[in-house]
Amino acid sequence: MNLERMPNEEKLGLCRKYYLGGFAFLPFLWLVNVVWFFREAFVKPTYTEQLQIKTYVKRSALGLLLWVAVLTTWITIFQHFRAEWGEVGDKLSFTIPLGIP
Amino acid sequence: MSTPTVVCVLLLSKTRKMDPLSNKWIVNLLLCWFFIGVSCNSVEKKIYVHLNYTVPCVRLLNATHQIGCQSSLSGNVGVLHVLESEENLDWVLKTGRNPPYLVILESPLFTRSIMMKLKNGSGRVAGVAVVAPNSNPLEGFSPHTTCPNENTGVYSENYDPTMAHCNVTKWNPLGNGLAYEEFDFPIFSLKDDNETQIIRQCYLDHNRPVNGSTPQYPLCAMQLYSHMSAVTDTATCMRRNDINFSISPEMVCDPLGDYNVWASTRPINNTEKGHKMWQSVVIAAARLDSRSFFFDIAPGAESGASGFVTLLAAAHALRNATQQAQPNRTILYTFFQGETFDYIGSSRMVYDMQNSQFAVDLDNVHSVLEIGQVGLRADSKLWVHSDPVSRRNSSVDEEVAKLIANLKSAANKSNVSVNEPSFSQPLPPSSFQRFLRARPIPGVVLEDHQSAFTNRFYESMYDNAEYLNMSYPPNMTPEEQLEYVTETAKALTEVATTVARALYMQAGGGEPQLSSINADPNIVTRLLYGFLVRSNNSWFQQLLPSDLMSQLANRPTNLYVGVSQQFSEPTLLVQHLLANLTGTTVNATQDDCKNQREDENDKENKHIYYYMWVQGAAPPNSTQREGFCIRSTVRLSKALSPAFDLREYTSKDYSTWTESRWKSIKGRIFLVASHDLEMLTLGVGIAVLLTSFVLTYVISSKADMLFSSGREPTTATY
């Protein structure tokens, strides 16, 4: 899909869909939204729907950052303490490395 | 491999552009495959020398620890260093300029002090290869602990605090505990032969520092692979075995264990478990297994074979006497597996007896006579060890005294002198301790030592035929050696006769028969030859079923118990030898025999007897062997620690030993270039890549200018 050839209302609808979709624990939708609509929101000359798109992109970015922060923290904690946690650590793991604790 | 591949790519791309003829293209393609196929092999062969004979040290785990060795997943690489003396360690641990080092040790340097320094070598040690000598060292060496099976015998704090933890006697004073250490680098054993010579030569040519100067690259290096899957302890690895949530569930460890072998002088119905009325059994026990620091060398001549060979010979000596004049009590010959690893076999049999899972139970057990290490008797003395704690009970003491009296009168008129240790000393490490843990059963353990072991090589790779003084006159063929009666065999025959007569009396047999009970030195010498020199001999071949021929080998039997999924070598051999030595030949067809019956209507005998079709010998003028059917009371019973059935992986009462799994164990040597040269090569490669990118970009952007031949515009293609 080429954003350039799309009418502004449809752009807004699409951006909104991605923004709302992100709430279903899909931070990657927010990432796509931010990357995809960044030009539309902040670079293009102003048009009516741009303000709304801007809000969605900003909120998507915020949500994305939150996810990144949460995931990074969790992954760090998990990788660091997995061996110490023993059985719990193994149950939380999908693949267990061979030969190291 | 890279050069031919590049040539191929060039060839292919050239053909495509220049010539549309497909025939030529295919020819070129085939040519290329040929090139790649050939070059792969030859280049690898030019770079690496693979080691053919590699015996690793592997990782074992128990309730609390991991022991053994481990390499990284892609193998540990280190520059070879042949250690000349302990002082020479400085080069490896401090001054050498090219760490990590892979240390080649001559066996006299394979000591605790050197190994522990290497272990704490802070990443400067990539691995160790120990050159096994062709003859035994003069001084003692035992990688086992000083107090074998310290925590799973009967002498705990509750039983008698003064005797716990070998307080009275350190049984294995030479034990250095190396086999119970954990090393985070691989340790391999190499045989002293041509291969080791190549390694030494490679070291001398490239790595040897001359006058303290740093040797120049390229240096000779070795890579050892022994990556172990399991880690931490048994509880962890058993838990990870059970996880089948991941995409590729993978087993990481297996419990150690195998089968105990047992037989009785009176047939016992094996399908009816639990207590047998009117049955009183005398257990004659020996252990089947041993170990060493390395995975598949466990000759265990003195620590294992001397005992079980004696018991096999005694069982054979008792065959006729027990059939003609059956004594009141039944003699139960038991051969326990996995005793090295916290009494796996005996603890399991006692557990089964307590839970009515065995053919008899503990109430049926009258007494126990165990044969320990009896191969190295000084002055023909045999020492009878008993448990001072249970003998405080007068009725037990009385029975033990009777048993000792029987042994003494059995030894009467023979060269064996039976003695009791002079002070009240606890039992040496023995299977009988597991029976005492359950209840105070009268019993004794026969050994060749009064206090500490006579065995200077307990559970080591030097505990072999040479150590038992099994020497053969030179220039003998294997067949002649098999029949040659060595002094060791004569000595063990005397012990076996004593044991057999004592057992007969202990079972209630009369004195008149005693003189007819004699162990056969020819049998003993063949047994020793078969277990300690080569199991692939004509006698073993005759006594085994044809499908077990693959188990026979031209080397000493490996007595390591191994994992429970597969039979270990001594179990199968002892099972079939015992059947032949105690059983009788019956007239049954091969089919009936293999279906555990004497004729087609026979449905009962399979519960009582075990039938076995052995391949027999070939008559003089024929190559076709004449097989026959042997009926015996020999049975196998599981020797898997109860901890694994109870799923108590942190058990303090039962063995929890497991062996890690691994994917590949191999080693190879090659020459390495200096780190700088490697980096330079990589740098040049990256530079060439980047240049080609830039060049391509420039050419493509200036394509109009460069290729303006008036053909169609190039932009349309892209």
Distance from the A92 Cα atom to the nearest Cα atom in chain B, whole angstroms: 10
Distance from the A77 Cα atom to the nearest Cα atom in chain B, whole angstroms: 20
Chain B contacts in chain A segment 51-90 (CB below 8 A) = 83, 86-87, 90
> How much is the average pLDDT of B270-294?
93
Instruction: Tell me the three-class secondary structure of B164-185, residue by residue.
Output: HHHCCCCCCCCECCHHHCECCC
Q: Which residues of chain B does A86 touch, with a Cβ-Cβ cutoff of 8 Å?
A: 236
Beta carbon pairs, A and B, within 8 Å: 33
Query: DSSP letter string over B452-484?
Result: S-S-TTTTSTT-STTTTT----SS--HHHHHH-
Contact assessment for residue B698 and residue B290, using Cβ atoms and an 8 Å cutoff: no
* Letter string b/e over residues A60-82, b meaning 16 or more CB atoms within 10 A of that residue's CB: bbebbeebeeeeeeeeeeeeeeb
The strand pairing partners of B80, in sequence order, are B102
Residue B410: predicted pLDDT: 93
Rg (CA), chain A: 19
The CA distance from B351 to B55, in Å, is: 35
Lowest model confidence (mean pLDDT) among B35-39, B515-519, B699-703: B35-39
The CA distance from B126 to B121, in Å, is: 10
pLDDT band of B8, cuts 50, 70, 90: very low
Distance from the A78 Cα atom to the nearest Cα atom in chain B, whole angstroms: 18
Residue B26: predicted pLDDT: 62
The CA distance from B634 to B263, in Å, is: 4
Residue B525: predicted pLDDT: 96
The CA distance from B590 to B483, in Å, is: 30
pLDDT band of B705, cuts 50, 70, 90: confident
Contact A99 B230 (CB under 8 A): yes
Residue B6: predicted pLDDT: 42
> How much is the average pLDDT of B440-469?
95
The CA distance from A4 to B422, in Å, is: 103
Contact B252 A98 (CB under 8 A): yes
Tokens describing residue B557? 């039997």
Tokens describing residue B648? 């108590």
Q: Is the pLDDT of residue B141 over 90?
A: yes
The CA distance from B461 to B292, in Å, is: 6
B233 has a chain A CB within 8 A of its CB: no
Compare all CA atoms of chain B with the CA of A86 and give the residue at the minimum distance.
B236
Q: Could you give the count of Cα atoms lying within 13 Å of B658 in the half-sphere of its Cβ?
A: 34
Contact B229 A99 (CB under 8 A): yes
SS3 A49: coil
> How much is the average pLDDT of B237-252?
83
> How much is the average pLDDT of B424-428?
92
Residue B14: predicted pLDDT: 37
Tokens describing residue B146? 């000083």
B251 has a chain A CB within 8 A of its CB: no
* Letter string b/e over residues B578-596, b meaning 16 or more CB atoms within 10 A of that residue's CB: bbbbbbeebebeeebbeeb
Q: State residue B648 phi and psi, 5-degree precision.
A: -105, 85
B245 has a chain A CB within 8 A of its CB: yes
Give the residue with greater pLDDT, B717 vs B568. B568
Q: Which residues of chain B does A83 touch, with a Cβ-Cβ cutoff of 8 Å?
A: 232
Lowest model confidence (mean pLDDT) among A54-63, B485-494, B532-541, B618-627: B618-627
Domain boundaries, chain B: 45-141+176-242+665-676, 259-462+501-518+540-546+560-583+633-644
Compare all CA atoms of chain B with the CA of A95 and give the residue at the minimum distance.
B246
Supply the mean pLDDT for chain B.
90
Contact assessment for residue B337 and residue B258, using Cβ atoms and an 8 Å cutoff: yes
Same fold: B45-141+176-242+665-676 with B259-462+501-518+540-546+560-583+633-644: no
Residue B711: predicted pLDDT: 55
Q: Which residues of chain A does B252 touch, with a Cβ-Cβ cutoff of 8 Å?
A: 98
Contact B243 A90 (CB under 8 A): yes
Q: Is the pLDDT of residue B426 over 80?
A: yes
Of B182, B144, B148, give the one whose Cα is nearest residue B459: B144
Q: Is the pLDDT of residue B612 over 90?
A: yes
B596 has a chain A CB within 8 A of its CB: no
Contact A101 B245 (CB under 8 A): no
Instruction: Say which residues have a Cβ less than 8 Å from residue B29's Cβ, sequence separation at least 6.
Output: B12
Q: Is the pLDDT of residue B422 over 50?
A: yes
Residue B28: predicted pLDDT: 64
Q: Are strands B281-287 and B365-371 parallel, antiparallel or unpaired?
A: parallel
Contact A90 B245 (CB under 8 A): no
Q: Is the pLDDT of residue B186 over 90?
A: yes
Q: State residue B413 phi and psi, 5-degree precision.
A: 70, 5
Cα of B509 vs its chain's centroid, Å:
39
Contact A101 B232 (CB under 8 A): yes
Q: Is the pLDDT of residue B649 over 80?
A: yes
B240 has a chain A CB within 8 A of its CB: yes
**Between B227, B246, B250, which is nearest A94 by CB?**
B246
Q: Is the pLDDT of residue B13 over 50?
A: no
Distances (CA, A) of A67 to A26, A77, B506, B607, B656: 10, 15, 79, 68, 44
Residue A95: predicted pLDDT: 84
Each residue's pLDDT tens digit, B371-399: 999 999 988 899 999 999 999 999 999 99
Peptide bond into B218 cis (omega under 30): yes
Q: Is the pLDDT of residue B38 over 90?
A: no
> How much is the average pLDDT of B461-490?
94
Q: Are strands B187-191 and B281-287 parallel, antiparallel or unpaired?
A: unpaired
**What CATH number was assigned to the domain covering residues B45-141+176-242+665-676?**
3.50.30
Compare all CA atoms of chain A with the CA of B240 and give the residue at the minimum distance.
A90
pLDDT band of B214, cuts 50, 70, 90: confident
Q: Could you report how far apart the first and last alpha carbons of chain B are, in Å?
A: 34
pLDDT band of B40, cuts 50, 70, 90: low
Residue B710: predicted pLDDT: 56
The rounded percent of chain B whose pLDDT value lies above 90 is 76
Q: Which residues of chain B does A95 touch, with a Cβ-Cβ cutoff of 8 Å?
A: 246-247
CATH match for B259-462+501-518+540-546+560-583+633-644 among 3.30.370, 3.30.70, 3.40.1580, 3.40.630: 3.40.630
Tokens describing residue B110? 């394979």
Under-70 pLDDT residues of chain A: 1
pLDDT band of B19, cuts 50, 70, 90: very low
DSSP state, B303? I
Compare all CA atoms of chain B with the CA of A84 and give the residue at the minimum distance.
B232
Contact B246 A98 (CB under 8 A): no
A96 has a chain B CB within 8 A of its CB: yes
A98 has a chain B CB within 8 A of its CB: yes
Give the residue with greater pLDDT, A4 vs B51. B51
B278 has a chain A CB within 8 A of its CB: no
Handedness of CA B147, B148, B152, B155 (dihedral sign): negative
B252 has a chain A CB within 8 A of its CB: yes
Residue B18: predicted pLDDT: 39
The strand pairing partners of B370, in sequence order, are B285, B445
The CA distance from B60 to B67, in Å, is: 5
Looking up tokens 């048009």, which residue turns up?
A: A47
pLDDT band of B30, cuts 50, 70, 90: low
Q: Is the pLDDT of residue B442 over 80?
A: yes
Contact B247 A87 (CB under 8 A): no
Q: Which residues of chain B does A91 touch, with a Cβ-Cβ cutoff of 8 Å?
A: 243
Contact A99 B247 (CB under 8 A): no
Each residue's pLDDT tens digit, B399-418: 999 999 999 999 987 889 99
Q: Is the pLDDT of residue B716 over 70?
A: no
Of B138, B139, B149, give the one whose Cα is nearest residue B172: B149
Q: Is the pLDDT of residue B112 over 80?
A: yes
Q: Is the pLDDT of residue B438 over 60?
A: yes
pLDDT band of B713, cuts 50, 70, 90: low
Residue B25: predicted pLDDT: 62
Angle, in degrees to the nearest 10, between helices B487-506 and B521-532:
120
